[in-house]
């Protein structure tokens, strides 16, 4: 099956405001690919010198690939899969979470500006005004701790700078999609207090047709804003305050029964209707999903000379509400409600060495508190009763950790790290099953874990690094808030991984290869037993594979990024009930593949850049992802199989340079005219991805104001000589207007 995801029949322009190089990958004048600095090991290191399986995407790459959220990062790395199923379910190398209720935790830790985000409903973070996204593959039990058995995603938002500037962005596309955003950067007190504020709104009609009265489903209605303040009281002290909010009010992707035979609610006496088309439903209940978040993070970094002291204090509150049509027909038979409110607070203290001695070390303490309420309400008018589950939950977690690397020689280094985690979780659930059947369940868990890391790295030369690590991951136990069910215990995994990283072609290519082997015990799996869905520690599993990544600039102006993932997953033991065979006591799913774990996946991106007068550069970019077939549950049946798929993005972008604010009425007129030109192109059926900067622009255009005829005449000569025929007539018309 080929599923093209061309963002429109012809993507005309993206007018960049990012002040980045014209290339999709940053490079210096010599053509060498610049290093990306990451914080995967809780300190700044070069990506190619970090002895771990890490993928990193900076502002330039995210913008060039039009990557708007975590889900779309999957177009750049094949090991990442994000599914939206009430909440965002993130999987790396087949490891994630299946618990949709608030009583569970993710398997891939999401960290935004150093703050761990506990709720899975908040996972698909929008990447507006983001400096960098890091994907750490494999368990991060030593430095990141709990709930990072699959890996970790670090999102670093853009910090304020000492220059005054900003941008305005506008985007329009099919399904009446539009996205408007703006950023303003300003020094409030010279060299002391800097500020950056950004915000956007994104709207889109639904992808899924609803044949019952009501609007189409799977749409978008999102508003968000962020304020960053940086205080520099002295050269050695930096204080950052980051506050943000987001408000999403969507009609969620609907629940649809895909059985080949009619469902219960399509048969008499219900006689409900469900369209055959997989992209259509007939829901009498309007599926909705609302989520509001507020967050504040305070970062303090103090360079004492021999070491750096870091403090990260974070607070986040998340309100989530979901309603979906549980019978998936046009009849009022069954509906599901999920309503939760949670607040979290975290504090991390770290002390890291700065010295250039053979011993490099880091120690830290961590505290996490999370509490809130959850309600799962099941409306069953077809059966004459309702089910109502209400729960209160609180989590207290503590950890102490350290990691040290010792250089035996200039080439050989050894690493040892260790973390101790302790957490107490309490929950009180009251379940009303109707007809006076009310049950109260008081649950508690007290778990701890030691998660070590053993590592070795060897530098063959200045451009080639070999590494190997043995690590342990720990994922919290939890609760399932949809009935009278026992809690489940933590899962643990040991992972042996190794790889090589190399800079080739005189710095024009960066390549990495990693291999890994997972040994899972007490894996938390989703089961359906006694007619109830729950989570149990019912499985052991083995995972192994190979990954390769390449970033290259073989020719000036031509950039390539490619990645391949080969993955083998299987349950060593998994005994459970088969809901399709209620008469069979149990089945063993040993040998079956893990859900959401395609055997083969690959991504490829190519970009070609050419100069566009003295204005900037035009970039033509294509991104492609292939993903082998995979399953959505452990039974590996064809009806729960995702067939192999192909995704393709293509776009043409006009990247312009930044410049300072100034008096440029002619420029404003030019931009207004250009916007009208693009709107006319929209009427021809083109998808537009428009990105206008009114704050910084190209020097050449700022010079083209009425009265500067010499510059305008020179620019007209350049337009006449260009091969960009599609824009020539329009540009000549606009420059001629300025000459009048």
My answer on whether 97 and 178 are in the same domain is no
Q: What is the pLDDT of residues 532-581, one digit of tens each?
A: 778 888 889 999 999 999 999 998 889 999 999 999 999 999 998 887 77
Binning pLDDT at 50, 70 and 90, where does residue 657 land?
A: very low
Q: Has residue 17 got a pLDDT over 50?
A: no
My answer on whether 62 and 180 are in the same domain is no
Q: Has residue 360 got a pLDDT over 70?
A: yes
Task: Find how far residue 80's CA is from the centre of its chain.
Answer: 9
Query: Is 455:414 a contact under the CB 8 Å cutoff?
Result: yes
Is the residue at 16 inside a domain?
no
Q: Has residue 687 got a pLDDT over 60?
A: no
- Three-class SS of residue 408? coil
DSSP state of 208: B
The Cα diameter of the chain in Å comes to: 88
Binning pLDDT at 50, 70 and 90, where does residue 651 land?
A: confident
CATH number for the domain that contains residue 133 = 2.170.130.10
Is the residue at 530 inside a domain?
yes
**pLDDT of res. 738:** 57
Q: State the DSSP H helix or E strand holding residue 70, giving kind and residue range, or none if neither.
A: helix 70-73
Q: Has residue 19 got a pLDDT over 90?
A: no
680 vs 356, more confident: 356
Give the residue from 606, 615, 619 showing the smallest Cα distance to 722: 615
Strands 645-656 and 15-16: parallel
Please state the rounded mean pLDDT for residues 129-144. Answer: 93
My answer on whether 531 and 584 are in the same domain is yes
**pLDDT of res. 110:** 92
**pLDDT of res. 204:** 93
Beta-carbon contacts of residue 208 (< 8 Å; ≥ 6 apart)? 216, 217, 218, 253, 254, 279, 280, 281
Across the chain, mean pLDDT equals 82
Please state the rounded mean pLDDT for residues 32-54. Answer: 90
Is the residue at 507 inside a domain?
yes
Is the residue at 152 inside a domain?
yes
My answer on whether 152 and 169 are in the same domain is no
Binning pLDDT at 50, 70 and 90, where does residue 277 land?
A: confident
721 vs 509, more confident: 509
Beta-carbon contacts of residue 675 (< 8 Å; ≥ 6 apart)? 170, 690, 692
My answer on whether 616 and 689 are in the same domain is no
My answer on whether 308 and 373 are in the same domain is yes
**pLDDT of res. 643:** 92
Please state the rounded mean pLDDT for residues 12-37. Answer: 46
Is the residue at 19 inside a domain?
no
My answer on whether 322 and 277 are in the same domain is yes
My answer on whether 719 and 577 are in the same domain is no
Q: Has residue 512 got a pLDDT over 90?
A: yes
My answer on whether 227 and 142 are in the same domain is no
Q: Has residue 472 got a pLDDT over 50?
A: yes
List, in sequence order, every beta strand (DSSP E) within 530-615.
Answer: 532-555, 558-576, 587-588, 600-612
Q: Has residue 432 got a pLDDT over 80?
A: yes
Q: Has residue 453 got a pLDDT over 90?
A: yes
Residue 411 structural domain? 165-656
Is the residue at 4 inside a domain?
no
Q: Has residue 133 got a pLDDT over 80?
A: yes
Q: What is the pLDDT of residues 64-87, one digit of tens each?
A: 788 888 888 988 999 999 887 777
Give the end of a domain, one of 656, 690, 722: 656
Please state the rounded mean pLDDT for residues 133-156. Answer: 92
Q: Has residue 200 got a pLDDT over 50?
A: yes
Task: Find how far residue 491's CA is from the centre of its chain.
Answer: 24
What percent of the chain has a predicted confidence (pLDDT) above 70?
82
My answer on whether 175 and 121 are in the same domain is no
Binning pLDDT at 50, 70 and 90, where does residue 656 land?
A: low
Give the residue from 479, 592, 491, 470 showing the smallest Cα distance to 538: 491
Binning pLDDT at 50, 70 and 90, where does residue 591 land?
A: very high
Domain count for the chain, please give it: 3
CATH number for the domain that contains residue 384 = 2.40.170.20
Q: What is the C-alpha separation between 285 and 670, in angstroms, rounded?
A: 48
Q: How far apart are the first and last CA of the chain?
A: 56
Q: Has residue 475 got a pLDDT over 70?
A: yes
Binning pLDDT at 50, 70 and 90, where does residue 695 land?
A: very low
- Three-class SS of residue 673? helix
Give the residue from 481, 448, 541, 526 showing the smallest Cα distance to 146: 448
**pLDDT of res. 351:** 97
Q: Has residue 171 got a pLDDT over 90?
A: no
Q: What is the C-alpha separation between 597 and 85, in angstroms, rounded?
A: 17
Give the end of a domain, one of 106, 132, 157: 157
Q: What is the C-alpha separation between 423 and 477, in angstroms, rounded?
A: 10
DSSP state of 254: P
Is the residue at 185 inside a domain?
yes
Q: Has residue 390 got a pLDDT over 90?
A: yes
Give the end of a domain, one of 656, 689, 710: 656
Please state the rounded mean pLDDT for residues 276-304. Answer: 90
Is the residue at 473 inside a domain?
yes
My answer on whether 399 and 303 are in the same domain is yes
My answer on whether 354 and 423 are in the same domain is yes
Q: Has residue 731 got a pLDDT over 80?
A: no
Q: Has residue 333 got a pLDDT over 70?
A: yes
**pLDDT of res. 735:** 59
């Amino acid at each position: 099956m080929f599923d093209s995801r061309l963002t429109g029949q012809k993507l005309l322009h993206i007018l960049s405001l990012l002040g980045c190089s014209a290339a999709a990958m940053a490079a210096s004048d010599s053509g060498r690919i610049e290093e990306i600095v990451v914080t995967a090991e809780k300190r700044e290191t070069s990506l190619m010198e970090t002895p771990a399986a890490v993928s990193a995407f900076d502002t330039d790459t995210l913008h060039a690939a039009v990557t708007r959220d975590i889900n779309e990062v999957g177009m750049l790395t094949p090991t990442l899969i994000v599914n939206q199923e009430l909440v965002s379910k993130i999987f790396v190398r087949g490891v994630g979470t299946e618990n949709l209720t608030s009583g569970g935790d993710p398997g891939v830790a999401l960290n935004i500006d150093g703050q761990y985000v506990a709720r899975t409903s908040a996972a698909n973070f929008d990447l507006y005004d983001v400096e960098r996204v890091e994907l750490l593959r494999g368990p991060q039990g030593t430095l990141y701790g709990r709930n990072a058995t699959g890996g970790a995603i670090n999102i670093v938002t853009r910090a304020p700078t000492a220059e005054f500037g900003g941008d305005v962005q506008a985007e329009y596309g099919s399904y009446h999609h539009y996205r408007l955003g703006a950023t303003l950067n300003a020094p409030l007190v010279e060299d002391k207090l800097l500020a950056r504020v950004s915000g956007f709104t994104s709207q889109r009609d639904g992808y899924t047709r609803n044949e019952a009265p009501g609007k189409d489903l799977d749409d978008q209605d999102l508003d968000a804003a962020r304020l960053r303040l940086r205080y520099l009281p002295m050269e050695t002290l930096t204080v950052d305050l980051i506050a943000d909010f987001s408000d999403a009010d969507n009609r969620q992707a609907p629940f649809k029964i895909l059985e080949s035979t009619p469902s219960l609610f399509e048969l008499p006496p219900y006689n409900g209707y469900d369209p055959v088309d997989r992209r259509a439903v007939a829901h009498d209940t309007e599926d909705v999903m609302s989520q509001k978040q507020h967050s504040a993070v305070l970062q303090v970094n103090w360079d004492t000379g021999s070491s750096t002291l870091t403090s990260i204090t974070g607070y986040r509150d998340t309100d989530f509400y979901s309603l979906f049509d549980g019978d998936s027909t046009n009849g009022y038979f069954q509906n599901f409600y999920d309503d939760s409110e949670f607040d979290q607070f975290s504090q991390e203290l770290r002390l890291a060495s700065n010295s250039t001695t053979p011993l490099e070390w880091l120690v830290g303490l961590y505290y996490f508190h999370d509490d809130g309420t959850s309600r799962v309400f099941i409306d069953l008018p077809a059966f004459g009763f309702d089910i109502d589950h209400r729960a209160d939950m609180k989590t207290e977690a503590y950890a102490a950790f350290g990691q040290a690397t010792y250089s035996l020689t200039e080439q050989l280094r050894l690493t040892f790290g260790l973390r101790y985690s302790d957490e107490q979780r309490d929950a009180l659930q009251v379940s009303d099953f109707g007809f006076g059947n009310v049950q109260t369940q008081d649950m508690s868990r007290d778990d701890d874990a030691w998660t070590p890391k053993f590592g070795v790295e060897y530098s063959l030369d200045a451009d080639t690094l070999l590494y190997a690590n043995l690590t342990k991951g720990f994922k919290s136990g939890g609760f399932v808030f949809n009935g009278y069910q026992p809690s489940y215990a933590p899962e643990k995994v040991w992972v042996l991984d190794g790889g090589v990283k190399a800079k080739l072609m005189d710095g024009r290519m960066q390549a990495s290869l990693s291999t890994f082997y997972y040994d899972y015990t007490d894996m938390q799996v989703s089961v359906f037993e006694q007619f109830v869905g729950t989570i149990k520690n019912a499985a052991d599993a083995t995972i192994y594979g190979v990954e390769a990544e390449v970033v290259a600039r073989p020719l000036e102006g031509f950039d390539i990024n490619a990645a391949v993932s080969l993955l083998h997953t299987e349950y060593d033991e998994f005994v459970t009930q088969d809901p399709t065979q209620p008469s069979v006591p149990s089945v063993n799913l040993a040998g079956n593949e893990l859900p959401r774990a395609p055997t083969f996946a690959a991504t490829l991106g190519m970009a070609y850049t050419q100069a566009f007068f003295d204005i900037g550069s035009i970039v033509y970019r294509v991104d492609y992802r292939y993903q082998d077939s995979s399953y959505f549950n452990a039974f590996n049946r064809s009806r729960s199989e995702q067939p192999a798929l192909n995704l393709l993005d293509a776009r043409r972008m006009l990247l312009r340079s930044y410049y300072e604010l100034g008096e440029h009425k002619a420029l404003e007129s030019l931009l207004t005219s250009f916007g009208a030109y693009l709107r006319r192109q929209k009427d021809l059926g083109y998808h537009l991805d428009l990105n206008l900067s009114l704050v910084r622009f190209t020097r050449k255009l700022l010079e083209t104001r009425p009265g500067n005829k010499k510059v305008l005449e020179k620019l007209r000569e350049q337009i006449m000589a260009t091969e960009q025929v599609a824009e020539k007539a329009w540009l000549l018309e606009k420059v001629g207007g300025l000459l009048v």
